[in-house]
Chain A
Amino acid sequence: MTLPAPLSYPPPESLDPGSPWHARPARIDRVRDESADVRTMVLVFEQARDRRDYRFLPGQFNMLLLPGIGEAAISIASDPEHCSAVAHTVRAVGSVTHALARLEVGDQLFVRGPFGRPWPLEELRERDLIIAAGGVGLASVQAAICHCMTHRGDYGRIAVLHGAKTPADLLCRSDYGRWRDHGIDLHLIVDHAAPGWQGPVGFVPQLLDRLEIVPSETSLICCGPEPMMEAVARRSIAAGIDPDQIFVSIERLMACASGLCGLCQLGPFFICKDGPVLSYDRIGPWLAVPHL
C-alpha cells in the first residue's frame, strides 16, 4: 500500500490506552482487490483523536470487529509512519474474513489494537535482510517493507521472497516496481504456473538458494503457513544464519489479543502478547512438537 512520505517514528509506549476491549470506529477509505479472495482496504479512523494518537509498529496486528458478526486478527499492512490511515490485506477464508472482504468504501468497522510484538527492525539496522512471505503472510511483512524503504540507508542488502499458489494469487503486484526502485531484490515463486508465467515454480524456501547470503550479516523475517516458515527456517539455518536472527510471525486463534482469553497459547507463549513475532531460537523447539 502506497502512502505519502514519512514524518516521524512513533514511540511504542503510546500504544493502546485504556481497556483492551475498547474499539475505535473507522471507515473504509479505499479498497484494492489483490486476487480472487484477497482484498486490501485502507481505513481511516472516524475520530480525530484516534487519527492523531493511533500508532503501530511493523509486524503488529489489529483486531477488526464487525458488531454482530465477529472479529479477526489482521496484520497492519501499511506504512508505520502514517498511522492516521491504516491498511489491512485480508484473505476471505471464513465468516469474519468474508464479511471484511465484502466491505466497500464508506462502510464502518471497529479496530482494537495495535497488539503484539513487532519485527525487531531497529535491532536489525546495518544488516542484510531477507523478507520471506507465503500467501497472505505478505500482509504481515508489508509494513516492514515500507519501513525499510523509508530507512533504506539503514539496512544492507534487502531481498523479498514471495510465493503464492498461482501467479494470479501473488499479492501487492502494483507495489513491486516501487520496491525494486528502492533497491529491493524481489523473487517470486508460484506453486502452479499459468500461461505467461516465466518465473520459477515451487515453494518459497527454494528461493533462498538464489540468494548470495553472508550468514553472519543476514537476518530473516518470515510469515506464512507454519510448514513454510519451518522449511524456510531450516534452510536458512543450513545456510549458516543464526536461529536468533530468524524471526517468524505465528498465527493462532485469538479472542482478546491481550493475554486474557488463553486461546492463542503455544507452549509457554501467548502468541498475542509474546508474539506474533518470535525469534526461531525461542519458538522453533515448540513448533517442532506436533499438536502443541
Chain B
Amino acid sequence: MPDSSSIPGDWRWLDADGLQILIDLLRGRGFRVVGPRIADGAIVIGDIDSAAQLPTGWLDDQDGGSYRLRQDKAAGTFDHVVGPHSLKNFLFPARETLQHWTRDDRGWHDTTPAEPPRPLAVIGVRGCDLAALAIQDRVFLGGDHVDPAYKARRERLFLLAVNCRRAAATCFCHSMGCGPAAGPGFDLALTETDGRFAVETGSEAGAALLAELAARGSPVTPAEILDEAAIEQVRDIPRRLGREMHARRAEPGRPVPRSLDTDGIRDLLFSNLEHPRWQQVADRCLSCANCTLVCPTCFCSSVSDVADLSGDHASRERQWASCFTLEHSQMHGGNARPTVASRYRQWLTHKLAGWIDQFGSSGCTGCGRCITWCPVGIDLTAEVAAIREAPTP
C-alpha cells in the first residue's frame, strides 16, 4: 500500500542506496531513466541504470568557449552543473518524423503509426532546466495550436530535480529568477548534504514513488521525515548559493558567476536595434548556431518533405533550425536576415525581448550553455551590458 502521508511538500531523507532503489522503481514502472553521465569529456544526459554511473566526485569548470571536467574528492554526486544536453534533447528531439505518407492507386494516405512514446524519467534536473521546460511548454502547448508529439512526450515525463550547491562561471540563473533552487515543476527534488539527500515531494507521482520506496523497506526510514528545522536548513543550501551569486562574491576556489541586468531589458534592446554593437559582435560571431542548439528554450525547427526511392512512401521530417543559419530566413525573393549582425540580433532580441511579448516571460533561464558552447566564447550577458552601457541616443 502506498503511504498516503507522502504528499507534495513532504520531505524525507534518502541515502545513496535509496537513490538506486528509486532508479530501479522507475525502471520497473517502464520508465527509460536518464541522468548525468560522463561521456567524451563532458557530463551529458545519458541512460542510467545504476547510481554508480552518476558523476560523483566530478566538477565542471566552464567559461566562454571552454568546458573541462576535473575530479574533486569533496564533490558530491550533483555538484557539477548543466552540460551540453538539456531536456530539449529528449522532449523536442533534434530530428523526428511528423508524418508518414503512403501512395496507392487512389492517392496518398497519412499512414503515421500511433505509437505512444516510452515514459522518460530524468535525474538531476536543475532549476534553470525546469524553467526552460516551462518555457517550452508555453511554446508547444500554450498557444492555439498544440504540438501533438511534444505533448505525448511531456505527459510521460518524471522529473527528479536537484537543488544546486555550486554554480559555474557561466551560470546566471539568479538574474533570471530561475535558480539556483529548483522548482516548481518537479516530481521529486534532491538536496545533497553530508553524503545523503533530502527529498522534497513536488507532485502526486513523486509522492507515490517515494511511498513505494518507503514501503519496500529500503534504507530510507519512513519515520525519517525532516522536521521543520531540518527543512529550513536544507532549503537554505540553494538559497545561500543564490545570495552568493547575487553578491557576485564566491567562496575561495569557486568561480564568480555571470549576471545579467534585466531591468527594462525588452525596451533597452528594442530601442537599440541599430546599435553598432551588433556589427561588433558579428565580427567575432561564426554564425555556427551552437548557442541556439544548446539553448534549452530555443524551439525553431524546419520541416522537410522527403520521398523514398520508390516514390510511394513519403515523410515529413522535422529538425532543429536556428536563426543563425541562412536557411532559417531564406525566401524565394531573397534572405530576410542576410548578415551575421542581423542574425545575432535576432537571437539576442528574441531571447531577451520579443519572447516577453510572445510568451509573457524571458526566453532565457541563465543556464549559461550558450556561453560555454560558443566556440569563440561569445557571452550574451556581456553583449547586453555593452548595449546598456552606451545605448543609441
Give the B-binding residues of A (Cβ under 8 A). Answer: 16, 19-21, 23, 25, 46, 65-71, 93-94, 97, 108, 110, 225, 251-253, 255-256, 258-263, 265-268, 270, 273, 289-292
Contacts and interface: CB of A to CB of B under 8 A. Distances in A.
Interface string B205-219: 000000000000000
Nearest to A255: B303
B316 A273 contact: no
Contacts of B144: 258-259, 273
A260 B108 contact: no
B143 A68 contact: no
A259 B302 CA distance: 12
A292 B346 CA distance: 7
B311 A68 contact: yes
A265 B358 CA distance: 10
14 contacts: A23-B110, A67-B305, A69-B307, A253-B329, A253-B336, A256-B303, A261-B299, A263-B300, A265-B323, A268-B353, A289-B274, A291-B338, A291-B341, A291-B342
B339 interface: yes
Contacts of B336: 252-253, 266, 291-292
A169 to B, nearest CB: 16
A140 to B, nearest CB: 15
A110 B108 contact: yes
Given A261-B302, A268-B354, 19 more contacts: A21-B98, A67-B316, A68-B314, A70-B304, A225-B333, A253-B336, A255-B301, A255-B302, A255-B321, A260-B139, A260-B301, A261-B300, A262-B300, A262-B321, A265-B323, A265-B350, A265-B354, A267-B349, A268-B357
Nearest to A16: B145
B139 A67 contact: no
B9 interface: no
Nearest to A96: B305
Given A68-B101, A268-B357, A261 B303 contact: yes
B99 interface: yes
B143 A259 contact: yes
Interface of B is mostly: mixed
B145 A258 contact: yes
B347 to A, nearest CB: 11
Interface string B189-200: 000000000000
Contact of B346 (A67, A68, A258, A265): A265
A94 B332 CA distance: 7
B107 A253 contact: no
Contact of B145 (A251, A252, A260, A263): A260
B246 interface: no
Interface in B246-276: 270, 273-274
Given A67-B101, A259-B143, A260-B147, A292 B108 contact: no
Contact of A65 (B139, B305, B345): B305
Given A21-B316, A23-B110, A67-B108, A267 B354 contact: yes
Q: Which residue, B101, B145, B330, has most C-beta atoms of chain A within 10 A?
A: B145
B70 interface: no
Contacts of B118: none
Interface residues of B, number: 53
A262 B299 contact: yes
B273 A292 contact: yes
A68 B307 contact: yes
Contacts of B331: 251-253
B337 interface: yes
Q: Which residue, B330, B345, B354, has most C-beta atoms of chain A within 10 A?
A: B354
A21 B328 CA distance: 20
A261 B329 contact: no
A68 B139 contact: no
Given A23-B110, A289-B273, A66 B353 contact: no
A292 B348 CA distance: 12
A265 B354 CA distance: 9
A70 B304 CA distance: 7
Contacts of A16: 145
Contact of B358 (A69, A252, A270): A270
B67 interface: no
Contact of B143 (A94, A97, A273): A273
Contacts of B148: 19, 21
B140 interface: yes
Contacts of B339: 291
A252 B332 CA distance: 10
A46 B107 CA distance: 11
Contacts of B332: 93-94, 97
B240 interface: no
B115 to A, nearest CB: 15
Contacts of B302: 255, 261, 263
A229 to B, nearest CB: 13
A260 B307 CA distance: 24
Contacts of B298: 262
B103 interface: yes
A263 B331 CA distance: 11
B306 interface: yes
A261 B144 CA distance: 14
Contacts of B338: 291
Nearest to A25: B107
A74 B147 CA distance: 22
Contacts of B301: 255-256, 260-262
Nearest to A91: B332
Nearest to B301: A261
Contacts of A291: 336-339, 341-342
Q: Which 10 A-B pairs have the closest CB atoms?
A: A68-B307, A68-B314, A258-B145, A291-B342, A262-B300, A268-B357, A67-B314, A20-B145, A67-B101, A268-B354
